[in-house]
């Protein structure tokens, strides 16, 4: 049966290759279409009433390229690749050339670069320096906080724990991203864990939408099931202080007279009464949400990113003054860390579907959509596979050892990705690679080869792309520092220091004076 499937797939690839156009008119038409798009682009100078910021965690340029090919072939374009404006973001942090998700999210959400593994605090705070993180002058204000101050609504959706590295800088201030619950705090620490900050402190307690995973960070001694087990690994946190922050959330909203809903599965999300919900908390798993291809899609299962985004927009758009929404496709990163390129690419496609939904549900005249990533991974697309072949397939035999290699590989990886071994014969010992043509490289859990073995696949330090549509999307136009995202969005939505454009104009005027004085002094 498996042999028949392989033969059928090969026949499909041959058919696809035979129908790929390569004539001159095809290439001319492609270029003319792009030229017509470019000539029609006009700057949208309307204030951004609404802002939706998508973060594909670990979704570097090679992941985007692989997702494009996987979904529609080399000439295909993902929905955000059709946005009129784009640029690149430099992802280094205040102290690292290659960053983590906490410092990069803080940069994008709060406007300054900070130290690795810190959340919502400036670079004066070193990792795990609790006391420094408590200083008011070190704490940063996020886009979500600025939106609330402007009487807009704000919220976030993630496939990760709601206390994880990317969403937490929206509402928390912590010298360590790992302090998600009290169990990871140092003994007798005066610092408050990230989960408590979400539920107890401003702006977390006033966010209108919170959706993702992480029940075991919110509920003390949470229990799991076979489908949704408790995770006790050193990478996560398990609350044990007797608190039930979900019940505390409910009590807070009831006390303040807010219409609210707390939902836990697909059935409750499908039955959500948006008209009776001004505050929405959705916690759909004990840990991170499952990969999209594995999640239980039944009534008791977990929703897709698109389903969460749709509900979030419906709740947030009730505010006539507008809203800010952050959406994280976090499982792109989780899969890359494990060396599962197909899972990562499939997660990137799932996030693109959420972007499409958001684009369909909003108006480009008043809503700024921004799609980007926090950092890259070490994913590589290798030469020279045929056009039209599977992005997860074999590229060709190596000219060095004659062994095939896959189109995708990693620079670093965990033990499962280290596919080298020593072969000894009469001529001596040789380092050899496993032959990938003898394995099913199309499986989701196929682990691509990696050049350097580590505990897992580490992040990359390359630039990431940023795509934008809507008001002031032209502000994303070249190579930017990553923290520029905060400033461009704030300016577009007239938030914080940019609530009036006069402050920026004054700064430009001062810069012009300084430049003129410097010129005459030469």
N-terminal to C-terminal alpha carbon distance within the chain: 80
Residues pairing with 480 in the sheet: 89
Q: In terms of domains, do 222 and 331 share one?
A: yes
Q: In terms of domains, do 150 and 239 share one?
A: yes
Q: In terms of domains, do 365 and 391 share one?
A: no
Residue 25 domain flag: no
31 burial (CB, 10 Å; 0-12 / 13-18 / 19+) is exposed
Q: Is 7 a residue whose pLDDT tops 90?
A: no
Q: In terms of domains, do 120 and 89 share one?
A: yes
For residues 110-124, give the mean pLDDT: 98
Please identify, among 453, 472, 488, the residue that sits at the C-terminal boundary of a domain. Answer: 453
Annotated binding site: 57, 164, 166, 328, 333, 337, 374-375, 459
Residues pairing with 283 in the sheet: 212
Residue 521 domain flag: no
Counted domains in the chain: 2
Torsion region of 105: left, alpha or beta (phi above 0 gives left; psi -120 to 50 gives alpha): alpha
Is pTM beyond 0.85? Reply is: yes
Residue 89 domain flag: yes
Q: What is the pLDDT of residue 12?
A: 47
Whether the Cβ atoms of residue 156 and residue 97 lie closer than 8 Å to each other: no
Residues 316-339: pLDDT tens digits? 999 999 999 999 999 999 999 999
Residue 449 domain flag: yes
Q: Is 370 a residue whose pLDDT tops 70?
A: yes
Q: In terms of domains, do 113 and 185 share one?
A: yes
Q: Which helix (H) or strand (E) holds 459?
A: strand 459-460
Q: In terms of domains, do 247 and 289 share one?
A: yes
Neighbours of 124 (CB within 10 A): 14
Whether the Cβ atoms of residue 408 and residue 457 lie closer than 8 Å to each other: no
Q: What is the pLDDT of residue 401?
A: 86
Q: In terms of domains, do 138 and 154 share one?
A: yes
Annotated binding site for Zn(2+): 57, 333, 337, 374-375, 459
Q: What is the pLDDT of residue 416?
A: 80
Residue 10 domain flag: no
Q: In terms of domains, do 277 and 395 share one?
A: no
93 catalytic? Reply is no
The C-alpha torsion from 392 through 397 and 400 to 401, rounded to 10°, is 100
For residues 426-453, give the mean pLDDT: 88
Residue 141 domain flag: yes
Residues 197-241: pLDDT tens digits? 999 999 999 999 999 999 999 999 999 998 899 999 988 999 999
Annotated binding site for Mg(2+): 57, 164, 166, 328
> How far from the centroid of its chain's Cα atoms is residue 303's Cα?
17
Alpha carbon distances (Å) from 377 to 57, 312, 464: 10, 29, 10
Q: In terms of domains, do 297 and 424 share one?
A: no
- CA separation for the pair 46, 391 (Å, rounded): 41
Residue 297 domain flag: yes
259 three-state secondary structure: coil
- Structural domain including 365 reads 49-378+458-504
Q: In terms of domains, do 62 and 94 share one?
A: yes
Q: In terms of domains, do 417 and 304 share one?
A: no
Query: How many residues belong to the chain?
Result: 522
Question: What tokens were used for 60?
Answer: 């570097």
Residue 95 domain flag: yes
Q: Can you give the CATH number for the domain in which 87 is found? A: 3.40.720.10
Q: In terms of domains, do 263 and 390 share one?
A: no
Which of 18, 75, 93, 101 is the catalytic position?
Answer: 101
């Amino acid at each position: 049966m498996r042999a028949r499937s392989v033969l059928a797939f090969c026949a499909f690839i041959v058919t696809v290759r035979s129908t790929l156009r390569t004539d001159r008119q095809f290439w001319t038409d492609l270029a003319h279409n792009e030229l017509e798009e470019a000539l029609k682009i006009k700057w949208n100078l309307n204030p951004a009433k609404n802002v939706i910021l998508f973060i594909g965690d670990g979704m570097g340029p090679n992941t985007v390229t692989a997702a494009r090919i996987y979904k529609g072939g080399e000439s295909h374009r993902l929905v955000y690749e059709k946005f009129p404006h784009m640029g690149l973001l430099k992802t280094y942090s205040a102290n690292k050339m290659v960053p983590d998700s906490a410092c990069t999210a803080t940069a994008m959400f709060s406007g300054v670069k900070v130290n690795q593994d810190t959340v919502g605090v400036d670079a004066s705070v070193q990792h795990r320096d609790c006391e420094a993180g408590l200083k008011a002058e070190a704490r940063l204000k996020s886009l979500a906080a600025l939106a609330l101050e402007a009487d807009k609504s704000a919220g976030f959706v993630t496939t990760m724990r709601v206390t994880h590295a990317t969403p937490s800088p929206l509402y928390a201030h912590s010298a360590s991203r790992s302090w998600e619950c009290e169990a990871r705090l140092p003994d007798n620490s005066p610092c408050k864990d990230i989960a408590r900050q979400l539920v107890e402190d401003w702006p977390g307690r006033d966010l209108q939408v919170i959706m993702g995973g992480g029940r075991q960070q919110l509920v003390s001694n949470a229990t799991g099931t076979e489908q949704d087990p408790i995770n006790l690994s050193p990478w996560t946190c398990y609350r044990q202080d007797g608190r039930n922050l979900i019940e505390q959330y409910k009590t807070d909203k009831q006390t303040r007279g807010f219409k609210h809903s707390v939902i836990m599965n697909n059935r409750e999300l499908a039955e959500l009464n948006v008209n009776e919900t001004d505050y929405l908390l959705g916690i759909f798993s004990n840990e991170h949400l499952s990969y999209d291809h594995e999640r239980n899609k039944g009534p008791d299962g977990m929703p897709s990113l698109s389903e969460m985004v749709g509900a979030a927009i419906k709740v947030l758009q009730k505010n006539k003054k507008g809203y800010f929404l952050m959406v994280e496709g976090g499982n792109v990163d989780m899969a890359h860390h494990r060396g599962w390129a197909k899972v990562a690419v499939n997660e990137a496609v799932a996030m693109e579907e959420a972007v499409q939904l958001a684009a369909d549900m909003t108006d480009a005249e008043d809503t700024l959509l921004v799609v980007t990533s926090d950092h890259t991974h070490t994913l590589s697309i290798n030469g020279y596979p045929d056009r039209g072949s599977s992005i997860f397939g074999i590229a060709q035999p190596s000219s060095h050892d004659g062994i095939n290699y896959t189109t995708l590989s990693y620079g670093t990886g965990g033990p499962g990705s280290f596919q080298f071994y020593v072969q000894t014969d009469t001529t001596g010992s040789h380092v050899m690679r496993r032959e990938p043509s003898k394995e099913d490289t199309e499986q989701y859990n196929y682990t691509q080869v990696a050049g350097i073995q580590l505990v897992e696949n580490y992040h990359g330090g390359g630039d990431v792309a940023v795509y934008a549509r809507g008001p002031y999307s032209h502000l994303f136009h070249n190579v930017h520092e990553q923290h520029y995202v905060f400033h461009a969005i704030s300016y577009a939505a007239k938030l914080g220091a940019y609530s009036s454009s006069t402050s920026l104009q004054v700064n430009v005027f001062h810069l012009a004076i300084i430049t003129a004085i410097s010129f005459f002094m030469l």
